[in-house]
Structure 1
Amino acid sequence: MGTDPVSHFIQVRDGLRLHARLHGEPDDRRLPVVCLPGLSRTAEDFDRLARHLAAEGRRVLALDYRGRGLSAWDPEPRNYDLQVESNDIADVLTALGITRATFVGTSRGGLHIMLLGALRPAFLAAAVLNDIGPVIDPAGLTRIKGYIGKAPPLPDWDATLAALKRIGAGHFTDLDEAEWRAYAELTFQEKDGRIVGRYDPGLMVNLAAMDLDKVPELWPQFDGLAALPLLVVRGANSDLLSPATAAIMLARHPGAALVTVAGQGHAPLLRDAPTIDRIAAFVARQDGQAGQVG
């Protein structure tokens, strides 16, 4: 297979068909890596990181949650819920024979890691939390709530790139034109002659109902990761994971390490070589632990 990904489609417990990308081959000497994307993001966000890890001889799974990427849309938008998705993750891992892995979670994916630590800890050997913590900054949530599921279809890629820059240029200050174009292609897709998001707009239903003044803090769930090796990645311009929260995370988890990605906001794209190298080195250090993938 080399480093080219292979798509797998798995029917989960309620019958919905989900998509996962698998890179690399099984190797009993190396723990697999499971990559969980952000709220409206897809498995392809991890493509550059996954190819790097697979080239080192490691199996990597990246998941499209229901309603995102190549996974089926749910006819009931309220099922775009952390608990439902957590069950989906467990179903996909079981179907693909993954019993234990290092998890990399971007934003919502990091919330899933914390929930798995509380509900299904046997899956977790180590964790990378990408720009997410137990306290979510309301400013970032307000910004996300303002555009998820609300963007109209766009006529062409030039208009799409301009729209993405309007939303993100203040958060991603170091991207060149080629990187902006790659970011746009990971965020949008062409469908019926128009450019649209790569997710079901129904994602906005639960988000719209969220009271931003009552978002719970997840310190107990974060503390449940205390026995695991932990790497925290934070965008220097992030409006979702504050420096203060990141500092408390390191204080409460003395074995944790922090990587700050300059020039990027929420969430770091995990496409630059220094960040990929740091994650790859962290992943490699976990290989003494038991783990396998079918």
Structure 2
Amino acid sequence: MAEESFSDFYYSSTDGLKLHARVYGDGANGARPVVCLPGLTRNARDFHELALHLSHKAKRPRKVVAFDYRGRGDSAYDENWQNYNIGVEAGDILAGLVTLGIEHAAFIGRSRGGLIVHVLAAMRPALLKAIVLNDVGPVVEGEGFAHIRAYLERAPQPASFADAVALQRTTHGPAFPALTDRDWERMVRALYRDEDGKPVPDFDPALLKTITSLDLAQPLPVLWPQFQGLTGVPMLAIRGENSRLLSAATLEEMVQRHPAIETITVEGQGHVPMLETGALPARIEAFLDRAEQPA
């Protein structure tokens, strides 16, 4: 599918920042829309292939909205880096959905996006009608978070997109043996923007202050109380087999606490599984269809 399969949507945050999302499809058949929330330094492009599937190839095509948080992708950078936090970003998502006229939706949260889903459940519980959590849960493993921080702090600047692919494979290859050459290329094109043929990370460098300022000697906050607010919503929890951020023990505890949860463990992938790979698009589509059926 070509680029014209989505439209760019711009709106203003409550503090006047110009923010961006991609909108795929029109949902004319009445199917529930899907809202896609990316990871910490990621952007709407991470969901491109999955969004094409859900909006054009699925049996019941849906409107899909993939957001760029402030300071990422095509959204404006914030002069105050302290606004790069989950609470502010959740408010930005709500502002975008109000502008789009979306009152109810299914949410797909990748890593940080899943944490924002927890916050949205507290802010606007009636908004969430189905939830897909991609390699994230109420407990973020400190070891995995430290690994992400260390990588972001010392990540070299690739000179070309070929260098960028090699860098990603060297850094993340052991956790992602299932990925193909095409998968790695797609990952890199989502992570970097093209500036005169040179790959540049597509986020505000000041964003890194939000993680370098954390004291990893202290335990990371847990979100079990917020997770409890999600237990009345159909949920699909996806974990990468080699994930260091979402442990198998946390996933099992989520199963024990949620009466209507389904789980998938993605073989040969770590944090965070690529949702367009293998059978994942079809399985996510099927889950969304089931979640929309009367109990």
Q: TM-score, normalised by structure 2?
A: 0.94
The answer to whether the Cα contact below 8 Å between 1:148 and 1:203 also exists between their aligned partners in 2 is no
Q: After superposition, what is the alpha-carbon deviation per residue over 1:150-174, rounded to whole angstroms, capped at 9, x for unaligned? A: 4343211221111111211111111
Q: How does 1:7-156 map to 2 (within 5 A)?
A: 7-27=8-28, 29-55=30-56, 56=58, 57-148=61-152, 150-156=154-160
Amino acid at match of 2:27: P
TM-aligned CA deviation for residue 211 of structure 1: 2.0
Q: Report the equivalent of 1:279.
A: 284
Task: State the SS of the aligned residue for 1:169.
Answer: helix
Q: Report the equivalent of 1:239.
A: 244
- Aligned mates of 1:219, 1:27 — CA distance in 2: 37
TM-aligned CA deviation for residue 288 of structure 1: 4.2
- Aligned mates of 2:121, 2:258 — CA distance in 1: 14
TM-aligned CA deviation for residue 177 of structure 1: 1.4
Amino acid at match of 1:140: G
TM-aligned CA deviation for residue 275 of structure 1: 1.0
Task: State the SS of the aligned residue for 2:291.
Answer: coil
Determine which of 200, 206, 209 is the counterpart of 1:202: 206
TM-aligned CA deviation for residue 225 of structure 1: 0.4
Q: Report the equivalent of 1:258.
A: 263
Task: State the SS of the aligned residue for 2:136.
Answer: coil
The answer to whether the Cα contact below 8 Å between 1:141 and 1:240 also exists between their aligned partners in 2 is yes
| RMSD of aligned residue pairs (Cα, Å) | 1.7
TM-aligned CA deviation for residue 40 of structure 1: 0.7
TM-aligned CA deviation for residue 193 of structure 1: 5.2
Q: Report the equivalent of 2:175.
A: 171
Q: Which moved more, 1:241-250 or 1:200-209?
A: 200-209
Q: Report the equivalent of 1:216.
A: 221
The alignment covers a number of residue pairs equal to 289
The answer to whether the Cα contact below 8 Å between 2:161 and 2:198 also exists between their aligned partners in 1 is no
Amino acid at match of 1:111: L
- Aligned mates of 1:93, 1:117 — CA distance in 2: 14
- Aligned mates of 2:219, 2:250 — CA distance in 1: 17
TM-aligned CA deviation for residue 198 of structure 1: 1.1
Q: Which moved more, 1:103-112 or 1:273-282?
A: 273-282
- Aligned mates of 2:262, 2:198 — CA distance in 1: 43
Q: After superposition, what is the alpha-carbon deviation per residue over 1:255-274, rounded to whole angstroms, capped at 9, x for unaligned? A: 10101111110011101141
The structure-2 alpha-carbon separation of the partners of 1:69 and 1:149, relative to structure 1 and needing over 3 Å to count, comes to farther
Residue identity over aligned pairs, in percent, reads 42
Q: TM-score, normalised by structure 1?
A: 0.94
The answer to whether the Cα contact below 8 Å between 1:29 and 1:287 also exists between their aligned partners in 2 is no
The list of structure 1 runs, each at least 4 consecutive aligned residues, that deviate by more than 4 angstroms after superposition, is none
Q: Which moved more, 1:188-197 or 1:232-241?
A: 188-197
- Aligned mates of 1:273, 1:263 — CA distance in 2: 11
Task: State the SS of the aligned residue for 1:62.
Answer: strand
Amino acid at match of 1:46: F
